[in-house]
Amino acid sequence: MQCTRPALRQLTKTNTNLTIRAFLQSPARSGDLTSLRPFSSTVTSRAKIPTPPEAMETIKSFVANTIGENLGGVLGDTHKVVAPEHQFSLDQVPDLSGKVAVVTGGSEGIGYGCVHTLLKHNISKLIVLSVDKDIVEEAKRSLTEDLGADAVARTTWMQLDLSDWPAVKNAAEQIKDSNDRIDILINQAGRGIMTFQLAENGVDRHMAVNHMGHTVLTSHLLPLLVKTGQSGSTVRIVNMASNAIQGAPSDVKFESLDELNTDLGPNGQYGRSKLAAVLYSRYLARHLTSKYSKILVNATHPGIVETRQSTQHIHEAFPLAGYGVSTLLNPFKKDQFEGCVSAMYAATATNESGQYICPPAIPEEGTKQSQDAALGEQLMKLTREVVAEKTKSQSTDKGCPFKDF
């Protein structure tokens, strides 16, 4: 792929949310954004035209939130630039003694930041699901150095490929058999901005891992999550999304496996899978939180974080243009601890459900697609159908965890 300027601009836009176009297409935090476009043909005579001070405050708020949500590195602690009511730090994570947590992809990157934070704040038991044994060993060594052997002793490590749904089901059963509660479930593992591939089960790998694998895991763990909530404890489920939902094609319908297996390009594949994370969170909030008020489900955006996805994997899809993300943006990326702040807020502090939370603790509306309840219902209908078809003998015939709410 040639390193063309348009390609680099598109790649950067999808990952940083810093373009004017993204600004104009998103809802204003203090009103309709058409009020900020007085010369636009879309503005009617009834549109409220803000005074210059009002417009300036809206722009300042937008810029502050955009920086706080996405950037870090040489810019310092950008979380401090957002409004006080949306600030949150890892120091504010409460004591987690007596609680049990499950984290997917917890051996590196943002997931490692979550694992480190949970252990630091005295989580009693932590189950980490990860696909790479070598990286797990590195994580164990690092945790031992930082937090001591006791922290590692409170951690159970399980190898798991989330695209292997029967294996996901088996892992969930092992977790249920060895624990009497789950207070926190962080569905963080995922395939990044990479080229189209099919998983072994014949499903687009982005959707098979990022969405459907986590749906299978969550569904099989649901009885234990419900039990924990019914005991009076607040249960929090976190699904890792991304502002790359803006890159999801506008005509996504989630109507068939053929649609899922259509190559949309790296940004489209990734954006669609992250759109699914937000839709799934809001789906569970509608159907699960409404029935079990102690179970909260939210999606989060981490910001631009220095991980293998942003430094190495990006080049699988964009061998040359990927340097815009891996190198040019590198000084401005959050580290793994800054990148896990929104997830830790959703996992330990929020009392809301069905939100899309950006760093540090900013609830955003997201794209119109991500707010489309009907699209979320269709996503889950297709998810149930595909999983049932692909796992009939190994899982579905033994009790499919999915149900129509």
Q: Give 185: exposed, middle or buried? Use CB within 10 Å, 0-12, 13-18, 19+.
A: buried
**Residue 402 DSSP label:** -
Spatial distance between the Cα atoms of 184 and 387, rounded to a whole number of angstroms: 24
Residue 111 contacts by C-beta under 8 Å, 6 or more apart in sequence?
Answer: 103, 104, 105, 128, 130, 186, 188, 189, 340
Residue 160 contacts by C-beta under 8 Å, 6 or more apart in sequence?
Answer: 104, 129, 130, 131, 167, 168, 171
Catalytic residue IDs:
270, 274
Half-sphere exposure of 172 (CA within 13 A, CB side): 25
In the structure encoding, which two tokens stand for residue 333, read together? Answer: 């990326």
In the structure encoding, which two tokens stand for residue 103, read together? Answer: 């984290």
Tell me whether the omega of the peptide bond preceding residue 360 falls within 30 degrees of 0, making it cis: yes
The DSSP string of 226-285 is HHHHHTT--EEEEEE--GGGGGS-TT-----HHHHTS---HHHHHHHHHHHHHHHHHHHI
Comparing CA positions, the residue from 186, 147, 123 lying closest to residue 340 is 186
- Amino acid, single-letter form, for residue 118: L
